[in-house]
Amino acid sequence: MRITLTGASGVGKTTLAQQLAHRLELPLIPELARVLCKERGFQRIGEISNQEQFKLDVLQRQIDTEETLQNFVADRSAVDCWILWQRWNICSAMTYDTENVYRMSSQQALKYTHIIYIPPLIVPVEDEFRWTDPDYTKQIDRIVRMTLYEQELLQKTLTITKITVDDRIEEVLSWIA
């Protein structure tokens, strides 16, 4: 199983990913943007001067990490790298890098067996890393849904409808079964 979670910031991906990895006895791939930030000595993504390179580095690390594992639960995915690339570059002209990121993301997405989309059903908690502005959350959520449709990933996507972690776990386990 190659399970990924997607959705806007603060919707409960990390909590659900950790619980699912434990229940399914699969390795957990953490949110790699946080890992890279920490490795480079930054608290927030906004502190990084070369944003374009950072986004490419996160995507490459995501793909490399996923490729080292047969099975996993991933808190974020290559799909999320594309989603965030679109949002962060919303006012920039399309570039060759943009087409490359799309190609890398969509090719990697074909390898996922299960995608869990978590819509914004709860109010995000500020953690000093992610953006929790309601308009930003809506924008990311809209891009998530469009990307899942555009990349023809809906047939392997579960949309979470439950609020509590335990209910979400049962919802996912029932779907996987």
Angle value at C-alpha 110, between 105 and 116, nearest 5 degrees: 85
Rounded to two decimals, the pTM is: 0.88
Query: What is the fold, at CATH topology level, of the domain defined by 2-176?
Result: Rossmann fold (3.40.50)
Q: Which sequence spans correspond to the domains of the chain?
A: 2-176
What pLDDT score does 161 carry? 97
pLDDT at residue 89 is higher than 80: no
Nearest Cα to 59, choosing from 36, 41, 87?
Answer: 36
H or E stretch covering 75 = strand 72-75
pLDDT, tens digit, for every residue of 21-59?
A: 999 999 999 999 889 989 999 887 778 888 888 889 999
